[in-house]
Structure 1
Amino acid sequence: MVDRRDTQHTAGLRADLDKRPAEVAAMFDRVAKRYDVTNTVLSGGLDASWRRATRQALGARPGQTVLDVAAGTAVSTVELASDGVRAIACDFSQGMLRAGGARAVPKVAGDAMALPLADESVDGVVISFGLRNVADPDAALREFRRVTRPGGTLVVCEFSRPTWAPFRTVYLEYLMRALPRIARAVSSNPEAYVYLAESIRAWPGQPDLAGRLQEAGWSDVAWQNLTGGVVALHRGRRPA
């Protein structure tokens, strides 16, 4: 049963997509227990292929160090580390990090807007399905640039806008109606997924996000659509 206080709290988030870090972290703490299972169900099992595509887009080499921001339970971090890369999981939700405690990758608690890393200390940064939950995404993009070495790579994997209009209409209907209903069956805090659905709908499309990467100082910015644009991979390079 969902605690009424949790429902009211999440409803407050839904009302204006408030993204104060402490409140969003608390929301993810409440969904951590069944987060991975819920993601697999809601994505129809596509989440694994999206993680593989993200790793491939990053193109990190064995021995390099990459930071996985908003890593949650570190499923994505394990994928990034599969090529002999040193991948570090970073998340501001202690509950999510604890839920992924059995995954043998380095973990650090941290906010995307104030990462606990030195300047130019990693070869690449990845953030998957997390940038839209940051209070100031542009500040986060600048912070990712700060910790990345010259020539390093950023990959943003995020929900986006389907490119085919009829499919886009069906997809938005799924987000606002079917997704919360499915979440009630599998999630440890289904009300949170109403907020998450609204945050997806409010997120900018592919060209707008590409422009924001460029404004934050990333060069050679490009994107790749996955699943017809349901997800987009944006890639940028920190200039040497």
Structure 2
Amino acid sequence: MTRASLDKQPHEVAAMFDDVAANYDLTNDVLSLGQSRLWRRAVARAVDARPGERVLDLAAGTGTSSLPFTAAGAYVVPCDFSLGMLRAGKKRNPFLPLTAGDATRLPFADDVFDTVTISFGLRNIQDTEGALREMLRVTKPGGKVVICEFSQPTWAPFRTVYTEYLMRALPPVATAVSSSPDAYVYLAESIRAWPDQPGLAAALQRAGWTRVAWRNLTGGVVALHRGTKPRNVE
């Protein structure tokens, strides 16, 4: 397999995730040094799903990220464009309504979901702002978006160490634990190329989201961005 390039051609990225689907969740736990579980819990608290609410979980992969919302009583639609990920998820959690979909052309009507969330998938979408506008379209007025994504560590010395880990330590570790280490080299490169916290906040505002804010996790390695859909959107 050829590693997906940073222009993020959708078919290349989908094929890359198809290749890593079987061990994706385990590999993420190893590469994040166990932090990925803490990040998922932070997302669950930010989404704060309630019984009867509708939650769209984009880039849901195998559906692991959707389980806390289901446990809270919400109706959750896990959506991903990797059929390999969805097949792996269906085997593990057959009760989830796993749905194939492109985040830039979502197969849902306007104003459907109380919350749209995406974790570690936005930077893999070719048209970031197009995806943010689609998320706005399918969210109910007054509803919210929650984005968990890799970002830029706020402490300069740590940022240097983190960058060294991404580009030097991550590839050999990925080779040991993943069936497709090239995919994780791409992921490291995509993290380095991704906008910082204010940059993503500005993109959310341009897409039409209001009350945009973020909170750093693990010193800014990850940031949790939030926004609200205005009630007066036409």
User: The TM-score by the shorter chain falls in which range?
Assistant: over 0.9
Amino acid at match of 2:119: S
C-alpha separation in 2, matches of 1:62 and 1:181: 43
Q: What's the offset of the Cα at 1:188?
A: 1.2
User: Root-mean-square deviation (CA), in Å?
Assistant: 0.8
Pick one of 161, 165, 171 that aligns with 1:174: 165
Distance 2:177 2:74 in 1: 33
Question: What residue in structure 1 maps to residue 127 of structure 2?
Answer: 136
5+ residue gaps, structure 2, are none
What CA distance in whole angstroms lies between the structure 2 residues aligned with 1:175 and 1:60?
33
- Displacement of 1:58 in angstroms is 1.5
Residue 102 (structure 2) aligns with: 111
Q: Which residue of 2 aligns with 1:3?
A: none
Q: What is the CA–CA distance in structure 2 between the aligned matches of 1:37 and 1:208, rounded to whole Å?
A: 30
**Which of 79, 84, 87 is the aligned partner of 1:95?**
84
Partner of 1:187: 178
Q: 2:17 aligns with which of 28, 47, 62?
A: 28
Distance 2:130 2:199 in 1: 16
Matched positions, count? 229
Q: Equivalent residue for 1:73?
A: 62
Instruction: Give the match for residue 41 of structure 1.
Output: 30
CA distance in 2, matches of 1:82, 1:141: 26
Task: Read off the aligned partner of 2:183 and give its amino acid letter.
Answer: A
From 52, 72, 96, give the equivalent of 1:63.
52
Q: Structure 1 regions of 5+ residues with no counterpart?
A: 1-5
In structure 2, what is the Cα distance between the partners aligned to 1:200 and 1:175?
9
Q: Structure 1: which 4+ aligned runs deviate by more than 4 Å?
A: none
**Cα deviation code 1:98-125 (max 9, x no counterpart):** 1111213211000000011111111110
> 3-state SS of the aligned residue for 2:111?
coil
SS at the partner of 2:181?
coil
The question of whether the paired residues in 1 share the 8 Å contact of 2:104 and 2:130 is answered with yes
CA distance in 1 between counterparts of 2:49 and 2:137 reads: 18
Per-residue deviation, residues 43-70 of structure 1 (Å, max 9, x unmatched): 1111111111111112222110000000
Question: In structure 1, what residue type is equivalent to 2:193?
Answer: A
**What residue number does 1:199 align with?**
190
SS of aligned partner of 1:100: helix
1:32 touches 1:188 (CA, 8 Å); kept in 2?
no
TM-score by length of 1: 0.94
TM-score, normalising length from structure 2? 0.96
Secondary structure at the aligned position of 1:51 is classed as: helix
Residue 200 (structure 1) shift: 0.2
Counterpart CA distance in 2 for 1:80 and 1:166 is: 36
- The percentage of aligned residue pairs carrying the same residue is 63
